Amino acid sequence: MPALLIPPRPPRTDEWAPAWTAFVGRRANNSVYGWPEDAFRSSWKTRQVLGFTVHLVSDPDAIARVLLDNKANYERPALVRKLLRAALGEGLFNTEGESWREQRRIVAPTFSPAAVSNFADTIATVVQGRIGRWRTGPLPMDMAVEATGTTMAIIAETLFDGDARLTAPAAAGHITAMLDAAGRARVMAMLGIPAFGPGSARARAGGRFLRDTLGAMADERAAAGGGDDFFGNLVAALHTRYSAVEARELAVDNAVAFYVAGHETTANALSWTIYLLAAQPDLQDELRAEAAAALAGGDMRDLDARLPRLRAVLDESLRLYPPAPRLDREAMADDELAGRPVRRGDLISIWPYVLHRHHALWSEPDAFDPQRFAPDRRLAMHRYQYLPFGAGPRVCVGARFAIVEALIVLAHWLTARRFTLRPGPPPVPVGRVTLRPERGMPLTVSAIHEVRPSA
């Protein structure tokens, strides 16, 4: 059997460094840099960080208790909610208890498999339109930039009926500035230190633009008694349960959350997946043939059934480069996890990035092997060892949307062009709120019939 590809990952250390080193040097800007080997072999580590007791948990049974069996005891940490409040208010992503249950009930039907299936044609139209504007010839392209533009356009078209205020070029600049700042928010914001500088001014202006625009759109939908698009339905449903003022606020909070949670995550999944295929030209050719056959009839629905190999590659890419690399919870009361005591106020830190590369759970964890996701092997996995979308009641509400979107985009990219690596250093994963490639994803994009460069 040929050796498996070991795609790039940040360097590791032999020892656990003192907790404060996470706030200086490279680790301050990259949460997946410099983890000790031991983290990928042990299931539990307790540390003191900024006065908090933090338990790093990589035991799937203990994780199941946190995210599902005793879920009521483990909320999003108050500190994280505070940090996110400026951008996400009290919308679905950033709330707990009855308010969360109510909003989840309102939003969930829009993201059901049947509802997502109805978005498939719109998603395909967006990606076809963008590919139509790509220049021909072997060209250097930053596929991270392309992926971000594509996922942003898809959200605007599917959830907001392609409203011109959101799709105009100036809007993209505002939204990107705001999302970029949300993605960078880390230590400074956690310590309550406001950000300064031109970047933060642009981000604030971007945030204002997004909230004002979405607020105006919510008012229009409310005046029209709803509307037949996602946002109209959301506004109408919120108005039946909340006062007009609250409903408007929550509509905007949730709309911003769909941009924040649903756009860069999927863009990162696309970037890493196309990189993995550029690094493996034979596999890319095989998947191109699978994609061509799947798209041939023009029916975009239920593509996973016709793209089993691409789906397995996407799952493996989400394992190696989980776009949401960490999930945090705060214990509301004392508890016991895997036989260890947890005290009220302790933080539970679950890192899909660590769990997905854990030696007790995966063979050759750093190697790319989509066979792990063959149907029979998938069934043998512990449900809580693979968490790209989280799990339990707070599992990503957009998970199905993201998978359908990624498969449609990748199938179109593969049937339109060939992707090859460029000379230079490999991409470096950098963990912020999401796991992104540090210097983008520059690839060479050429016509399929052009002679394939030797690998």
How does DSSP assign 86-141, residue by residue?
Answer: HHHTTSGGG--HHHHHHHHHHHGGGGSHHHHHHHHHHHHHHHHHHHHTS--SSEEE
CB atoms near residue 268 (< 10 Å): 28
Indicate whether 141 belongs to the interface with ligand HEM (CB under 6 A).
Answer: no
Largest CA distance in the chain: 64
Distance CA 448, CA 378 (A): 33
How near is the Cβ of 3 to ligand HEM at its closest, in Å? 28
Residue nearest to ligand HEM (CB): 398
Instruction: List the one residue out of 26, 79, 437 whose CA is nearest residue 264.
Output: 437
How near is the Cβ of 448 to ligand HEM at its closest, in Å? 26
Distance CA 62, CA 68 (A): 10
Indicate whether 269 belongs to the interface with ligand HEM (CB under 6 A).
Answer: yes
- Reported as half-sphere exposure (CB side, CA atoms, 13 A), residue 4 has a value of 14
**10-18, 117-125, 128-136, 262-270 -> range binding ligand HEM (CB under 6 A):** 262-270
How near is the Cβ of 382 to ligand HEM at its closest, in Å? 17
Instruction: List the one residue out of 374, 321, 377, 327 whose CA is nearest residue 348.
Output: 327
Indicate whether 429 belongs to the interface with ligand HEM (CB under 6 A).
Answer: no
Please tell me the count of residues contacting ligand HEM according to CB under 6 A. Answer: 22
Q: Of 181, 189, 261, 410, which lies in the binding site for ligand HEM, with binding defined by CB under 6 A? A: 261
Taking the least distance from each CB to ligand HEM, the nearer of 337 and 418 is 337
Q: Of 27, 356, 357, 394, which lies in the binding site for ligand HEM, with binding defined by CB under 6 A? A: 394
Q: With the C-alpha atoms ordered 302, 303, 306, 312, is the resulting torsion angle positive or negative?
A: negative
Give 165's contacts (C-beta < 8 A, 6+ positions apart).
171, 213, 216, 217
- Reported as half-sphere exposure (CB side, CA atoms, 13 A), residue 216 has a value of 9
How near is the Cβ of 446 to ligand HEM at its closest, in Å? 27
Taking the least distance from each CB to ligand HEM, the nearer of 45 and 104 is 104
How near is the Cβ of 104 to ligand HEM at its closest, in Å? 5
Indicate whether 417 belongs to the interface with ligand HEM (CB under 6 A).
Answer: no
* Angle subtended by helix axes 281-295 and 399-416, to nearest 10: 100
* Angle subtended by helix axes 244-278 and 169-184, to nearest 10: 80
How near is the Cβ of 196 to ligand HEM at its closest, in Å? 29
Taking the least distance from each CB to ligand HEM, the nearer of 148 and 266 is 266
Q: Of 77, 232, 323, 429, which lies in the binding site for ligand HEM, with binding defined by CB under 6 A? A: 323
Indicate whether 431 belongs to the interface with ligand HEM (CB under 6 A).
Answer: no
How near is the Cβ of 177 to ligand HEM at its closest, in Å? 20
Length of the chain: 455
The distance of Cα 239 from the centroid of its chain, to the nearest Å, equals 29
Indicate whether 257 belongs to the interface with ligand HEM (CB under 6 A).
Answer: yes
How near is the Cβ of 189 to ligand HEM at its closest, in Å? 17
Indicate whether 307 belongs to the interface with ligand HEM (CB under 6 A).
Answer: no
How near is the Cβ of 396 to ligand HEM at its closest, in Å? 3
Taking the least distance from each CB to ligand HEM, the nearer of 92 and 127 is 92
Contacting positions for ligand HEM (CB under 6 A) = 92-93, 104, 257-258, 261-262, 265-266, 269, 323-324, 327, 388-390, 394, 396-398, 401-402
